[in-house]
Amino acid sequence: MNGVDWRAAALRLALLVVALLVLAGVLVVVFYAAGRPLRPAISAGAGVVGFAMAMLGIGLLAWSRRGSERVTGGTAFGAMALSLPFLVVALVV
Amino acid sequence: MSEPILTATGVTIGFPVKRGIIFQREVARVQAVDGVDLTLHQGETLAIVGESGCGKTTLARGLVRLRDIDAGSITYMGEDITRRSGRTLNDFRRQVTMIFQDPIASLDPRMRIGQSMQEPLDIHSIGTPAERKRKVQEAMERVGLNPEHYNRFPHEFSGGQRQRIGIARAIILEPRVIVCDEPVSALDVSVQAQIVNLLEDLQRDLGLSYIVIAHDLDVVRRLADRVQVMYLGRVVEQGEGEQVYNHPRHPYSKALLSARPIADPKLARSRERIVLQGDVPSPINPPAGCRFHPRCPVVQASCSAQDPQLEIAADGHGWACAYPLAP
């Protein structure tokens, strides 16, 4: 059995973060184009992504508690942790 | 006997069981094939039998390099092909082809069967487009399909015809070895007989060698010169077909043979039927000692401690059991 492949894990994490940032960016553009001022558009874009990640984390937690072979509590809490910066941005901006 | 055409030594193939999504960690390994040796001679049919999940198909896919092996080596015509890649691997794949179990899943539903059969010729850049079409139609004729059906789609054929298409696709490159992964298990009995006859005819006409993966022991008896019995990723018995069928020495082989349905009800009632207790153990955590001991009808105290290796007698009959059955 092997331990964690840290290089691959870092790459996956970086890809996920970039994907979330791109998604949030696209949402900001969409909201801005729809007529919202910039700051509320940023707030809404980050809020949607943060809320989605938080919900995903709760779902993954339920899944891991049911005894998934693949999904662990760490995965679920990781998703929730990733949602925090987006929710903070949504509230602060 | 002729020189071996395909040899596998200590082939081991496993699948990792991972936990986590970002920080993935391998928590266990399913050892599907564990140190299997086999030798195939020119013009011979070697059958690999065993119950579902024992690693037959994984071994077959490893032998044609459809998946990499973790340990061991595969030699084709004296050359090690275990680590081959690119063009040299393509050369090997031209010589060793495969017939798949499911004739529906192995054909692209959106490709005309002519295109499907021509694809290997395209990949290996054999002939001009006109020659390729002619070769496809010849192969169709050889396997008993109407060459005029070249432009039909897979759904327009019956199960048996689709398996014939799979066979035509396997022989179109004029290989020397064909690995047949349960070639008749998805077909009804009358069609099974036709396909078995076709495989025999092709072997006779083209001098093919077969590795036949099967769990239908009657099909194996008809086709195979030699038989290897697998249990939980390992070969537990091997020998000439008649040796294994008439004088099985491993209790698992005997149980497997006793489970074979017999068409004569009187004979079926009178024969000794061995019903194995329990389920197949998990290949993630196989039992210590002999892997078959938790289900063995003749288990002894020492079986849980010692792991018997395959010992092959002078007549080629081998078994991996510390307390083999009387011949």
Instruction: Among B15, B17, B23, pick the best mutation site for testing chain A contact (most A Cβ within 10 A).
Output: B23
Q: Do A1 and B18 touch (CB under 8 A)?
A: no
B260 close to B283: Cβ distance less than 8 angstroms: no
Q: How far is B302 from chain A (nearest CA, A)?
A: 29
Picking from A1, A2, A16, the nearest residue to B22 by CB comes out as A16
Q: Do B25 and A74 touch (CB under 8 A)?
A: no
pLDDT tens, position by position, B46-77: 999 998 889 999 999 999 999 999 999 999 99
pLDDT at B272 over 80: no
Percent of chain B with pLDDT over 90: 72
**Which residue's structure tokens are 């943060």?**
A50
- First-to-last CA distance in chain A? 46
pLDDT at A57 over 90: yes
Q: Do A9 and B21 touch (CB under 8 A)?
A: no
Q: Quick one: pLDDT at residue B219? A: 87
**Section B299-311 average pLDDT:** 92
Does A13 contact chain B (CB < 8 Å)?
yes
- B161: which 2 tokens? 């015809």
**Section B212-227 average pLDDT:** 90
Picking from B21, B25, B28, the nearest residue to A3 by CB comes out as B25
Mean pLDDT of chain B: 92
Q: Quick one: pLDDT at residue B20? A: 86
pLDDT at B224 over 80: yes
| Chain A: residue whose CA lies nearest to B23 | A9
- ipTM exceeds 0.90: no
Which chain B residues touch A78 with a CB distance below 8 Å? 22-23
Percent of chain B with pLDDT over 70: 100
**Section B295-309 average pLDDT:** 92
Q: Do B21 and A70 touch (CB under 8 A)?
A: yes
Q: Quick one: pLDDT at residue B41? A: 95
For residue B131, give Cα distances in angstroms to B77, B126, B142, B146.
29, 8, 16, 18
Picking from A2, A16, A74, the nearest residue to B20 by CB comes out as A74
pLDDT band at B1 (very low <50, low <70, confident <90, very high): low
Q: Quick one: pLDDT at residue B48? A: 96
**Section B213-236 average pLDDT:** 92
Buried b (16+ CB within 10 A) or exposed e, B127-149: eeeeebbebbbebbebbbbeeeb
B292 close to B50: Cβ distance less than 8 angstroms: no
| Chain A: residue whose CA lies nearest to B30 | A1
A-B contacts (CB, under 8 Å): 40
The angle subtended at Cα B44 by Cα B42 and Cα B46, nearest 5°, is: 125
| Chain B: residue whose CA lies nearest to A69 | B19
Q: Do A70 and B20 touch (CB under 8 A)?
A: yes
**Section B154-166 average pLDDT:** 93
pLDDT tens, position by position, A30-48: 999 999 999 999 999 999 9
